[in-house]
Amino acid sequence: MDNQLDSFFGAMADPTRRAVIERLTQGPAPVSELHAPHDIALPTFLKHLRKLEDAGLVRSEKRGRVRTVHIEAAPLAVAEDWLARQRRVWEGRLDRLSHLADRLPPDVS
């Protein structure tokens, strides 16, 4: 699972790749549509797609001359589960810290 999380967070570390994932939450899209809003060369953009594919976040299929990219939910769910666990840990720690702070005597000046 650590490798999967490493791949996920590595892929999501780039704003271009995050924008692609954000767009794909609306549904599959051809590469040309995904590339259009980005001011980078197509070969560079394709490297970003490859990073997302390698992380298992997207898959693509080619029909004729059009390559369509689809989002894959499984890696997103793994990351969401990990983040939820981290949130529970930190919320518990902050609750304990808050409880401790409430028990401190008031500052007398």
Convert the pLDDT of each residue in 98-107 to its tens digit.
Answer: 888 888 888 7
pLDDT the model gives residue 50: 96
Residues 23-44 have a mean pLDDT of 97
Convert the pLDDT of each residue in 37-46 to its tens digit.
Answer: 999 999 999 9
| pLDDT reading at 108 higher than 60 | no
pLDDT the model gives residue 6: 87
Convert the pLDDT of each residue in 1-13 to its tens digit.
Answer: 568 888 898 999 9
Q: Where are the domains of the chain?
A: 2-103
Rounded to the nearest 5 degrees, what angle is found at the Cα of 22, between the Cα atoms of 14 and 7?
45
Q: Residue 64: which H helix or E strand, with range?
A: none
- Which residues is 61 bridged to in the sheet? 68
2-103 folds as Arc Repressor Mutant, subunit A (1.10.10)
| pLDDT reading at 109 higher than 60 | no
